Chain A
Amino acid sequence: MSKTAWQEMGLTDSEYARILELMGRQPTLPELGMFAAMWSEHCSYKTSKPVLSLFPTEGPRVLQGPGENAGVIDIGDNIAVAFKVESHNHPTAIEPFQGAATGVGGIIRDVFTMGARPIAALNSLRFGDLKLDRTRYLLNGAVEGIAFYGNTIGVPTVAGETWFNPSYNGNPLVNAMCVGIIEDGKIFKGVAKGKGNTLMAVGAKTGRDGIHGATFASEEISEDTESKRPAVQVGDPFTEKLLLEACLELMQSDAVVGIQDMGAAGLTSSSCEMASRGESGIDFDVTLVPQREEGMTPYEILLSESQERMLVAVHKGREDEVFKIFEKWELDAAIIGTITDDNLVTVRENGEIVAQIPSRFLTDEAPVYYNEAKRPEYLDQAEKFDPMTLPEPADYTQALIKLLQSDNICSKEWVYRHFDTTVGTSSVIRPGSDAAVLRLKNSRKGLAMCLDCNSRYVYLNPFEGGKIAVAESARNVVCSGAEPVAITNCLNFGNPDKPEVFYTFKQAVTGMAEACRALDTPVTGGNVSLYNESPDGAVYPTPTVGMMGVLEDIDQATTSAFKNTGDLIYLIGQSQDELGASEYLANAFELNTGRVPKLDLAKEKQVQKTVLRAIREKLIKAAHDCSEGGLAVALSEMAVQADLGFKVELNDPWRSDVSLFGESQSRIIVSLGKEQEEELLNLLKETGVEYSKLGEVTPQEVTIFHQGKEIVKTSSQELSQAWKEALPWIMKNN
């Protein structure tokens, strides 16, 4: 049976019936396209909405929570920070360069639409098995695409993560985050109001690219996905740079009522959402929209996802100011319609109405689904798995070296060397440390930021994994000297119509929400990306967390690298008998299973508060979160980044592989000068946090004793070689 027009567009039969009921008549083709785009998961959050309501979204710093182009927080000194993360997974799966590039372009637009000047970009990249040609092709293309867009527009790429697992073979994840600052207190919103005000389309011309991209993003990747290549948008960072400058210049005046990026679902979503937020109507003519191709139909103009375009509501009579600024920047600006008070979205072609829909039908009346959730069986098997049934490594030095070479732990310099990390002259801590730190030129304060998620944990225990995703990213900004203040998140999951997938989604969000409450880091927005499935199955559930932290004084910025020979090494927090779900099991035994480390949020908070105090009181020189690869890898990373060694003695009662490579949570390794020891100990006793003295920093040699026995003996140079050369070697020699 051939598909009906609405099925082709991704609408179900019952959704179509609902449209007929709402409209009281058959929709026109443009109307049907508008419903399909606006009711897609990507735009409507129809299945995720009930779950997302679990997130805490308010706090004393939150100026703008979820629902706008980006979240905004107040960091004091009259400075507001706009930030958001968004996915561009499906486009990247078929056209990695443009897919990733336009992901960066889209999120930068979201941030400057709020009136913020973008100051930093981050990315989270997840790809399949690196041994596959296809994976390396996709990684290469995505990295070059990100570099192309971010470097050209002049926003430094300062942090991120690159993670590999076969679950991403057919469906890689590219999540892009942008951070911007607002210094004049003027936040702009995507709102259209005031009868008679003017609606303008500005920026690039509209073409046929990306039609129905939002719908494409809301279905699984299948064998005929390749034919969706035209649904991938094409990016032009030069035009976006001009658009950025023109918009920020325009925002200096008070001519703008509201402004919105024409992102997913293009003109359709921007016009509907602006009208809906402003509780007004909007009436425009598609023939007035600047076009770069001839003969475009209203349907195509409404659903094009051509990049670098904005919809602006302008106070009546102020249109010339817009024209003047956009002319200077050599960009198009056109009056396409007016704001009305009839609550209708009216679309015309040469004056004749081709679509007319009450805006709330497209937004508020979008269906909401309460999907069935069922606990997947593999979770029980993972819980039961006992790593102690596995043999110990014969040689711990070799096991450590092999782990440092592994895809997920090795240095990602190969990736970030493609990026301009220093434009903007604010990058105090650049990629490679726990979090990036940026100074603010008009304040003593600084911003720390990271983008993080261990999706193996979320796969094996969605609730704990969700908690850990938030806690670990908070720990990262703490290690950099900042207080964690708010998050944005990108929830990448499989098909939510499958009860097992929906279960992991719900559990992960529940866990994240609990951690956000405990750590006082509200959610200010983000993005949901469902249907991340290929014929091989769903990706690991991946709720990427973008954490913002504030440094009260930029001089407190701290890196993870050891500083001086002879410095003491302490562990804040305590190791447990936990080897399950570790990178070590995946690397040594190809096992992605086991019990996920437990996270006690009260302990987590205590560890973070203690380390932050130690940094503020200048009691420590370096701090590093203990995560993938456990203590041994964390120590190695601190050493190789400084070209120094270490000698430590571990006295926990566990088996040596647990002690070295176990991934117990709430642990931070710090290094300090001997003269700081007494004061640090006073602080540790005062806060009551668990801690142990591990050893000291050496010039080159690396030695680890466990229960009195020397089990690792090597040099910093050897570890460095393993860690630094792995990724370039794989990318070059395959």
Chain B
Amino acid sequence: MKFAVIQFPGTNCEIDTAYILKDLLEQEADIIWHMQDDLSSYDLVILPGGSSYGDYLRTGALAKFSPIIEAIKKHAEQGKLVLGICNGFQILTEIGLLPGAFMKNQNLKFIGDDLFFKVINNSTPFTSSYSKEQILKLPVAHLEGNYYIDSDQLKELQAQNRIVLRYCNSQGLCSEQANPNGSVDNIAAVLNERGNVLGMMPHPERMAEEILGGQDGLGFFQSILEYHKERKEQ
């Protein structure tokens, strides 16, 4: 499977993400500079974490104007998979591939910690290797992780089962206390309507090896590979 990992000025998780894909999962992965405008040879596009354009103006707001954005939109329109992690998620909301917007964390402080997440929807191309309601421990590292969406759109997300992960405590309770940043409905990952674009705040690439504290993040990549394999066989 061939992955494109997009690099904007200020992106800083592209090497980590490509490492998982290439060294751990033995897939083809290229780091693609944002000035390129063709992604047609790739099966999946990942927008990794970081601080594109220094997070100036709003996270993701400036990346929106990069030439690569049109290619990402085209890729999504073709029904191919797009995964946005952290800053990648923020960019996906800015370019309209995902609903909602991000604000600063409620306490206005950066959070760098391992948190718990509940798998709400495991019937997506990104989460099929997890069980429903499985509790995952994954690192977060963000200052603007406070996900906002209005109540009509929230109802739509809920009705269409498009909330993929929610913040929870170690027991799986999605309580206000377990919400680290003020996100509406403890939302931590969201799917688009067509089901081929996922945005997530935690960093799965940072929890994919035992030596780094666990492998709870590996399932996202394994699900994608499984999905691709099945589609190929069809």
Contact = CB atoms under 8 A, between A and B. Distances in A.
B26 interface: no
Contacts of B56: 238
Given A151-B110, A417-B113, A418-B109, A423 B13 contact: yes
B111 interface: yes
Contacts of B149: none
B9 A329 contact: yes
Contact of A241 (B12, B13, B203, B206): B12
A612 B20 CA distance: 32
Contacts of A153: 12, 51
B110 A147 contact: yes
A272 B113 CA distance: 44
A419 B211 contact: no
A425 B141 contact: no
A493 interface: no
Given A238-B53, A441-B19, A154 B12 contact: yes
B215 to A, nearest CB: 13
B110 A420 contact: yes
Nearest to B7: A245
A439 B209 CA distance: 12
A236 B206 CA distance: 26
Interface string B141-163: 10100000000000000000000
A422 interface: yes
A441 B23 contact: yes
A555 B55 CA distance: 37
A427 interface: yes
A423 B19 contact: no
Contacts of A239: 54
A238 B139 CA distance: 23
B139 A236 contact: no
A646 B6 CA distance: 50
Interface string B50-63: 11011110000000
Given A154-B50, A238-B53, A238-B54, A422 B139 contact: yes
A238 B10 contact: yes
A428 interface: yes
Contacts of A329: 9
Contact of A151 (B15, B16, B112, B113): B112
A419 B203 CA distance: 15
Given A151-B141, A439-B211, A422 B51 contact: no
Given A152-B51, A152-B54, A242 B10 contact: yes
A416 B109 CA distance: 12
User: Chain A interface secondary structure, helix, strand, loop or mixed?
Assistant: mixed
Contacts of B109: 144, 417-418
Contacts of B10: 152, 238, 241-242
Given A237-B54, A423-B13, A441-B23, A428 B112 contact: no
Nearest to B52: A238
A422 B55 contact: no
In the complex, which range does the number of interface residues on chain A fall in? 20 to 34
A481 B47 CA distance: 36
Contacts of A428: 211-212
Contact of B141 (A144, A422, A555): A422
B205 interface: yes
A359 to B, nearest CB: 36
Interface string A433-463: 0000001010000000000000000000000
A152 B55 contact: yes
Given A236-B54, A441-B23, A330 B112 contact: no
A554 B211 contact: yes
A555 B209 CA distance: 13
Contact of B110 (A328, A418, A424): A418
B13 A154 contact: yes
B141 A427 contact: no
Given A154-B13, A441-B23, A554-B211, A238 B110 contact: no
B45 to A, nearest CB: 20
Most chain B C-beta atoms within 10 Å of own C-beta, residue among A238, A416, A428: A238
A430 to B, nearest CB: 8
B interface secondary structure, majority: mixed
Contacts of B206: 422-423, 425
A418 B9 contact: no
A421 B113 CA distance: 8
A416 B49 CA distance: 20
A417 B111 contact: yes
Interface string B75-111: 0000000000000000000000000000000000111
Contacts of A236: 54
B50 A422 contact: no
Given A420-B112, A425-B19, A154 B51 contact: yes
Nearest to A426: B212
Interface in B192-209: 203, 205-206, 209
Most central of B53, B203, B205, B212 by chain A CB within 10 Å: B212
A455 B9 CA distance: 42
Contacts of A439: 211
Contact of B205 (A154, A417, A425): A425
A419 B112 contact: yes
A425 B51 contact: no
Most buried by A among B110, B203, B205, B209: B110
A418 B112 contact: yes
Interface string B175-206: 00000000000000000000000000001011
B110 A419 contact: yes
B202 to A, nearest CB: 11
B177 to A, nearest CB: 14
Q: Which of A154, A238, A439, A555 has the most CB of B within 10 A?
A: A154
Given A151-B112, A427-B212, A439-B211, A420 B141 contact: yes
Contacts of B143: 151
A148 B51 CA distance: 11
Interface string B1-33: 000000001101101100110010000000001
A425 B16 contact: yes
Nearest to A425: B16
Interface string A554-584: 1100000000000000000000000000000
A237 B143 CA distance: 15
Nearest to B180: A417
Interface string A315-331: 00000000000001110
A530 B205 CA distance: 44
B102 to A, nearest CB: 16
Interface string A126-153: 0000000000000000001001100111
28 contacts: A144-B109, A151-B110, A151-B112, A151-B141, A152-B10, A152-B51, A152-B54, A153-B12, A154-B12, A154-B13, A237-B54, A238-B9, A238-B51, A241-B10, A417-B112, A418-B109, A419-B112, A421-B141, A422-B112, A422-B139, A422-B203, A423-B141, A425-B16, A425-B20, A428-B211, A428-B212, A439-B211, A441-B23
Interface of B: 9-10, 12-13, 15-16, 19-20, 23, 33, 49-51, 53-56, 109-113, 139, 141, 143, 203, 205-206, 209, 211-212
Interface of A: 144, 147-148, 151-154, 236-239, 241-242, 328-330, 416-428, 439, 441, 554-555
7 A-B pairs closest in CB distance? A154-B12, A238-B54, A420-B141, A425-B16, A152-B51, A422-B139, A422-B206
Given A154-B12, A417-B111, A425-B209, 14 more contacts: A154-B51, A238-B9, A238-B51, A238-B56, A420-B110, A420-B112, A422-B141, A423-B16, A425-B206, A425-B212, A426-B212, A427-B212, A439-B211, A441-B23
